[in-house]
Chains A and B, each alone.
Chain A
């Protein structure tokens, strides 16, 4: 039984992925499948809500890394919000804040897409 799950929700035209549990080399394939599902549906503006993400290892970080270029080529992005401090520290350790938009709240992350796409205030 996996201790990781991904919840799907939309906020306007943005796909929100809610991560729950522990993301490691065993569960990373579930996140990979979730992002691939978004890509297959041509949903390329993705906000990852990490409020309930308890743990991440490099295998989890690698999933974000594997998709980011393709999403950006399609005019989309992954924005990451509401990470717990201990999870943010792992992103920070490898310099991920230089490559990814990591913000405090989900609302901020969604708003950044609207700013980027020029259709919001």
Chain B
């Protein structure tokens, strides 16, 4: 199977997360990934985009998010790009659910889900552009 690239650009609003999930589902299914992998890719990409909307763009809907799907024979990679505030991985600590429930916090689990479901998660900064690359191998 040759390498193929597909791109979707969405406004930075949670109302478009459903479109992102459909986009991932379509291409992962066409690339013959198992249903379980398709579901895991959908949620990991949803989490990455939701984090961009909430943290990189801080809820400002006047920006874009680029979602590129790169299909290769041995892997499915999704590259999510934004031009907002960068995510500093070094300060991230996985939340403890018991501490979280006691403090009545609602968020913070997205990165944990991405790391557990994907084979590889990488954050990069290229110029003024932040990239999050999520990879699942066959």
Contacts and interface: CB of A to CB of B under 8 A. Distances in A.
B18 A69 contact: no
B34 interface: no
B15, B36, B107: which has the most chain A beta carbons within 10 Å?
B107
A61 B107 CA distance: 8
A50 to B, nearest CB: 16
B129 interface: no
A111 interface: no
A59 B43 contact: no
Interface residues of B, number: 30
Contacts of A25: 14, 17, 46, 50, 53-54
Given A24-B14, A58-B109, A61-B109, A66 B104 contact: yes
Interface string A36-65: 000000000000000000010111011101
Given A59-B50, A68-B101, A69-B101, A26 B14 contact: yes
B134 to A, nearest CB: 14
Contacts of B108: 58, 62
Query: Chain B binding site: helix, strand, loop or mixed by DSSP?
Result: helix
Nearest to A62: B106
Contacts of B43: 55, 57, 90
A13 B94 CA distance: 37
B116 to A, nearest CB: 6
A65 B46 contact: no
Query: Chain A binding site: helix, strand, loop or mixed by DSSP?
Result: helix
Instruction: For chain A, give the interface size range.
Output: 20 to 34
B100 to A, nearest CB: 6
Interface in B95-135: 97-98, 100-102, 104-110, 112-113, 116-117
A25 B61 CA distance: 14
B14 to A, nearest CB: 4
A95 B17 contact: no
B116 A65 contact: no
Interface of B: 14-15, 17-18, 21, 36, 39, 42-43, 46-47, 50, 53-54, 97-98, 100-102, 104-110, 112-113, 116-117
19 contacts: A22-B21, A24-B18, A25-B53, A25-B54, A26-B14, A26-B15, A26-B17, A57-B46, A57-B110, A57-B113, A58-B107, A58-B109, A59-B107, A62-B106, A62-B109, A65-B105, A94-B109, A94-B112, A99-B101
